[in-house]
Amino acid sequence: MEEKEKCEGLTRRNFIKTLGLAGIASTGLSMGKAGAAPEQADAGKPVLPRRKLGKTGVEVSVLALGGMFDTINNQLLLRQARTWGMNFWDTAEGYGNGLSEDGYGRFVARNVDARKDLFLATKLHAGEPAAMTAGLDKSLKRLATGYVDLFYTHGISDFKEIAAPKPVKQWASEMKKAGKIRFFGFSSHTNMEDCLLSASKEDWIDIVMFTYNFRLMNTAKMKDAIAACVGKGIGLVAMKTQGGGQVKTDSEAELQMAGQFLKRGFTDKQAKIKAVLENPNIASVCSQMPSLTILSANVAAALDRTSLSRNDFELLERFAAETQESYCAGCGRICHEAVGGAAPVSDIMRCLMYYHDYGERDLAREVYAGLPEHVRAGLTQVDFSLAEKACPQKLAISRLMREASEILA
């Protein structure tokens, strides 16, 4: 029986033995086949494994707590994340207009020993140095700390947004000298491979967080981009690892995939996280975990040592191929150029992903509202036919842009 469980993965018994029962009492979670809560950590001993974050030399948990949720009213979840050894916490000024940072700050203020254990990251959009400094100072105040371990410029789609002659490099150096940030990097949802390749040619980028999942990991360009960054010592953090699409498919292929992974003892969502962590060059997976149920399931997946088989990866690849028309792969430069810059198609696709796949309708509308007014007003007037012809994923861009204008306005 024991040998069978090792082969089949996270079966109920294996989950209980690997992850323990103590956490269930502390969280109030029920336990299904692949939903056992991890046990409490021994004093001073982290539960989650850690990996070095590039040339920084810092070891961070293989799961990072994405703060795009109500952190103020989820202090118990934050405490449990820390208990399970999740020392990498990520947030941004734009998450809830600063409320996410407020929630982290409340935790830090009430738990005086917490700050020294946490690797805390926040983000701002690139801008003029004075504005970035003012924004960072406000973030530090909300976070109840004098410094952040990692500062990202948020959501770049082209490295030129932060490259010389723009003074971002100098600003980052000054903030390090001032003791306000320890490490600097950027996040990218769009044209990730190009951004990574450009970063690998520089000497001042410490860390990059980028969209990376089972749909994207096997392309030659992505592999080359990751190899280039690893060679330069840049720490890599994966996000959007579930590969959720702009169209809610509920396809037969998805049902078959979920069923196959459940036979192995874990859910398809856990399998997607495990697939990313199979790459040792990914230091951490940043995931939005707004409930104890999701938190415990992700921790369980990260703790389990069952490797995905070749058949598992082939199943993920087959699912990706069969549902490619529902997923924007982030190659925004292609569609942006096809419409002459008239609409940021990939940004709007991300809003639709939040709306359909995440079920975060308020967030989707908030991000959409941040687009220039003239873009939103003229969206239905743009001819997207050339963009559809150029799209590698064969997305129905015209229909999706009309839908966005109707449901996100």
Which two structure tokens, joined as six digits, stand for 348? Answer: 């709007």
Q: Which two tokens stand for residue 24?
A: 């269930």
Q: What burial letters (b/e) apply to 178-208, b meaning 16+ CB within 10 Å?
A: eebbbbbbbbbbbbbbbbbbbbbeeeebbbb
Residues 315 and 306: their CA atoms lie apart, in Å, by 16
Domain limits, the chain: 43-319, 328-407
DSSP run (H or E) holding 151: strand 148-153
- Return the structure tokens found at 345: 């198609």
Give average pLDDT by consecutive 10-residue segment, the chain, 409 residues.
34 40 32 42 68 97 96 97 97 93 98 94 96 98 98 96 96 98 97 98 98 96 98 98 78 82 92 97 97 96 92 92 90 92 93 88 90 94 95 94 94
Considering only CA atoms, which of 267, 304, 310, 311 is closest in space to residue 5?
Answer: 304
pTM: 0.86
Distances in whole angstroms, Cα of residue 334 to Cα of each of 224, 328, 367: 19, 12, 22
Nearest-angstrom CA–CA distance, 84 and 324? 35
- 3-state class (DSSP) for residue 321: helix
For residues 379 and 387, give the distance between their C-alpha atoms in angstroms, rounded to a whole number: 14
- 77, 292 in Cβ contact below 8 A? yes
DSSP label of 177: H
- The residue among 68, 71, 346, 314 whose CA lies nearest residue 188 is 346
Token pair in block for residue 125: 């959009």
DSSP class of residue 355 equals: I
For residue 165, say if its preceding peptide bond is cis, omega within 30 degrees of 0: yes
What region, left, alpha or beta, does residue 385 occupy, with left being phi > 0 and alpha being psi -120 to 50 degrees? Answer: alpha
Q: Which amino acid is at 74?
A: N
- Please state, in angstroms and rounded to a whole number, the distance separating the CA atoms of residues 356 and 407: 11
DSSP sequence for 221-247? HHHHHHHHHHHHT-EEEEE-TT---SS
> How high is the pLDDT of residue 248?
63
Pairwise CA distance, residues 343 & 332, whole Å: 10
Q: Which residue, among 352, 349, 358, 357, has the nearest Cα to 329 in the 3D structure?
A: 349
Burial-class residue 155 by CB neighbours within 10 Å (0-12, 13-18, 19+): buried
Q: Over the Cα atoms of the chain, what is R_g?
A: 21
By three-state DSSP, how is residue 87 classified?
coil
Q: Residue 6: its pLDDT value, please?
A: 32
What is the structure's pLDDT at 380? 93
Residues 209, 286 contacting (CB under 8 angstroms):
yes
Neighbour tally for 134: CB within 10 Å: 13
Residue 172, both tokens: 């980052």
Bridge partner residues of 288 (DSSP): 66
> Helix or strand or coil: residue 86?
coil
Helices marked H in 144-248: 168-177, 192-199, 220-232
pLDDT of residue 19: 43
Determine how many CB atoms are found less than 10 A away from the CB of residue 117: 12
Query: What are the residues facing 60 on neighbouring strands?
Result: 51
pLDDT value of residue 8:
33
Query: Domain 43-319 classified CATH 3.90.198.10?
Result: no
Q: Do residues 343 and 376 touch, judged by C-beta distance below 8 A?
A: no
Which pLDDT belongs to residue 249? 62
